[in-house]
Amino acid sequence: MATEIVFSQSGESGTRAIIHDWLVHEMEIIQEGQVLCRVMVDETIHEVKAPCEGLLLKMFIKEKEHFEIPAIIGVVGLEPSSIADLQPVKSFPARQDRIIKIKGVRKIIAERMHKSLQTTAQLTMHATADARGLLAFRKQCKDAADSEMRSISINDMLLWIVSRVLERFPGMNALMLEESIIEKAPVNLGFAVDTPRGLMVPVIKDARFLTMRELSVQTKKLAQLCIQGKFPPEILEGGTFTVTNLGMFGINGFTPILNTPQVAILGIDSIELKPIVVSSDIQFIPHIGLSLTVDHRVVDGAPGARFLSSMVEMIAGFPYELDGKTKEEDQT
């Protein structure tokens, strides 16, 4: 007899997840309650434990593979033959080479990425920030009665934080055009969206004036328009700073490429446990990674580092309340 290893999260049906890593191997003897693997949902790691004692007969979902919640990710049992009814045997035709002509959106992306690297002096620096405030607020949102509040993601929170930090660093919210640096007054925040046609970067106009709820609604709307391919060209125009998030894929560090003529771009990495010394004890505290790329012709290392440090500080304190006000606003 085989027992399914089911991964499910209350209120997360249909949400995409990814196997971060398996801690055991197929046909390995496991004990009831033993941690078998770790799954990432909404940039948060969840441990999956064995439902019973036996052999890990099969991993239905491999490391770094995506799936929709709920899902059977593996099976525990005593006899290999007991998995036959749980996963039908599939045969796949031999794959053939494909020749894909570079055109349309893919050609535009290729040209812009190449030009960006050719015409700028790109410098990337990395940091991590205490993510407990983000995770706590995300939990509050999930429990909210308002559907718009429930849909606020960690990415939305980070976009909101970026829009506020940029107010203090006008040199980061800037464009370089020929021999001039233009520090832009509005914070028009671009964010990377993975679409069937390729990478697109819609722009949230005047992001610093939006509440968390308003910003979240706009990101969902703009992302959906890009995914559907039904959007006016102007939603991709006018960006002054870009955020790109690969953390949902378990990436813990990368080098974002500048979206020229912008002079900076922030990459969001995964949330992982980091050992921190607290009162002579070591505690494992969730931290989110940040990867900032700047155009070193315009932004020196120190100002870039100060911007990144301010991001770390604001994420760690995360001054936002579920009633829609910042802590600073509550004190006025």
Q: What is the pLDDT of residue 16?
A: 81
146 lies in some domain: yes
pLDDT level of residue 105 (50, 70, 90 thresholds): confident
The most confident of the ranges 36-40, 105-109, 197-201, 205-209 is 205-209
Least trusted range by pLDDT, from 11-25, 52-66, 164-178, 246-260: 11-25
Question: Within this chain, do residues 250 and 305 fall inside the same structural domain, yes or no?
Answer: yes
Which of helix, strand or coil describes residue 1?
A: coil
Tell me the C-alpha distance between 149 and 54, whole Å.
42
- Helices first, then strands: H and E counts in the chain: 7, 18
Tell me the C-alpha distance between 20 and 331, whole Å.
41
Q: Which of 33, 49, 83 is the last residue of a domain?
A: 83
Range of the domain at 53: 2-83
Question: Within this chain, do residues 312 and 280 fall inside the same structural domain, yes or no?
Answer: yes
What's the predicted TM-score (pTM) here? 0.73
Looking at the predicted structure, is the pLDDT value of residue 330 above 60?
no
Write down the residue that tokens 């006016």 correspond to.
232
What average pLDDT does the segment 78-94 reach? 54
Q: Evaluate whether 257 touches 122 at the Cβ level (below 8 Å).
A: yes
Q: What is the mean pLDDT of the chain?
A: 88
Q: Catalytic residues, which ones?
A: 296, 300
The amino acid that residue 40 corresponds to is: M
98 lies in some domain: no
The amino acid that residue 262 corresponds to is: Q
Looking at the predicted structure, is the pLDDT value of residue 322 above 60?
no
88 lies in some domain: no
pLDDT level of residue 93 (50, 70, 90 thresholds): low
